[in-house]
Amino acid sequence: MAVRNQEIADLFNRLADLLEVEDANPFRVRAYRNAARVIGSLSPSLSDLVADGEDLTHYPGIGDDLADKIRTIVTTGELPDLREVEHRVPAELSDLMHIKGLGPKRVKALYQELGIDSLDQLEAAARQGRIRQLEGFGAKTEQSLLEGIEYLRGGGERRTLLGEAEEVAERLKAHLEGVEGAKLLEVAGSYRRRKETVGDLDILVACADAKPIMDAFVGYDEVAEVASRGETRSTVYLRSGLQVDLRVVPRESYGAALHYFTGSQAHNVAVRQRGVSRGYKINEYGVFQGESRLAGTTEAEVYATVGLDWIPPELRENRGEIEAAVAGELPCLVEQSDLRGDLHCHTRATDGGQSPREMAEAARERGYDYLAITDHSRRVAMAHGLDADRLRAQMAEIDRLNDELSDITLLKGCEVDILEDGSLDLPDDALSELDLAVCSVHYQLDLPRSQQTERILKAMDNPYCSLLGHATGRQINEREPMDVDMERIIAGATERGVVLEVNAQPARLDLRDEHCRMARDYGARLAIATDAHNADNLGLIRFGVGQARRGWLRAEDVINTWDLAGLRRALER
DNA sequence: GCCGTTTTCGGCCCGACTGTTTTCAGTCG
Handedness of CA A306, A311, A316, A320 (dihedral sign): negative
A72 touches strand B (CB under 7 A): no
pLDDT given at position A327 = 86
DSSP state for residue A347 in the 8-state scheme:
-
A137 touches strand B (CB under 7 A): yes
Taking only the tens place, the pLDDT of each residue in A169-207 is 999 999 999 888 777 999 999 999 999 999 899 999 998
**Nearest protein residue by Cα to C1' of nucleotide B5:** A277
Longest dimension (CA), chain A: 81
A62 touches strand B (CB under 7 A): yes
Question: Which nucleotide has its C1' atom closest to residue A106's CA?
Answer: B26
pLDDT given at position A225 = 87
Handedness of CA A139, A141, A144, A148 (dihedral sign): negative
pLDDT given at position A156 = 61
pLDDT given at position A512 = 92
A141 touches strand B (CB under 7 A): yes
DSSP string for A117-131: -SHHHHHHHHHTT-G
10 Å CB burial of residue A290 (0-12, 13-18, 19+) is exposed
Residues of A 175-194 whose CB lies less than 7 Å from any atom of strand B: 189
Question: Which nucleotide has its C1' atom closest to residue A29's CA?
Answer: B1
Q: Per DSSP, which regions of A334-479 are E strands?
A: 341-342, 370-376, 409-417, 436-440, 467-468
Question: Which nucleotide has its C1' atom closest to residue A261's CA?
Answer: B29
A139 touches strand B (CB under 7 A): yes
Residues of chain A with pLDDT under 50: none
Neighbours of A484 (CB within 10 A): 23
Q: Side-chain half-sphere of A2: how many Cα atoms within 13 Å?
A: 17
pLDDT given at position A157 = 60
pLDDT given at position A452 = 94
User: CA A136 → C1' B21, Å?
Assistant: 8
Question: Which nucleotide has its C1' atom closest to residue A142's CA?
Answer: B19
User: CA A16 → C1' B1, Å?
Assistant: 11
**Nearest protein residue by Cα to C1' of nucleotide B12:** A27
**Nearest protein residue by Cα to C1' of nucleotide B1:** A28
Question: In strand B, which positions have an atom below 7 A from any protein CB?
Answer: 1-3, 5-6, 11-21, 25-29
pLDDT given at position A255 = 94
pLDDT given at position A498 = 97
A132 touches strand B (CB under 7 A): yes
DSSP state for residue A350 in the 8-state scheme:
T
A243 touches strand B (CB under 7 A): yes
Residues of A 418-457 whose CB lies less than 7 Å from any atom of strand B: none
Determine the Cα–Cα distance for residues A285 and A256; give it in Å rounded to an integer: 6
A228 touches strand B (CB under 7 A): yes
Question: Which nucleotide has its C1' atom closest to residue A189's CA?
Answer: B29
User: CA A204 → C1' B21, Å?
Assistant: 32
User: CA A518 → C1' B9, Å?
Assistant: 37
- In order of their start, the domains of chain A are 5-153 (1.10.150.110), 160-249 (3.30.460.10), 253-326 (3.30.210.10), 336-571 (3.20.20.140)
DSSP state for residue A377 in the 8-state scheme:
B
Residues of A 13-42 whose CB lies less than 7 Å from any atom of strand B: 25, 27-28, 30-32, 34-35
Single out the residue of A480, A485, A545 nearest to residue A515, CA to CA: A485
What separation, in Å, do the N-terminal and C-terminal C-alpha atoms of chain A show?
37
A211 touches strand B (CB under 7 A): no
Q: Side-chain half-sphere of A427: how many Cα atoms within 13 Å?
A: 6
User: pTM, whole model, 2 decimals?
Assistant: 0.85
User: CA A136 → C1' B23, Å?
Assistant: 14
Handedness of CA A43, A497, A483, A476 (dihedral sign): positive
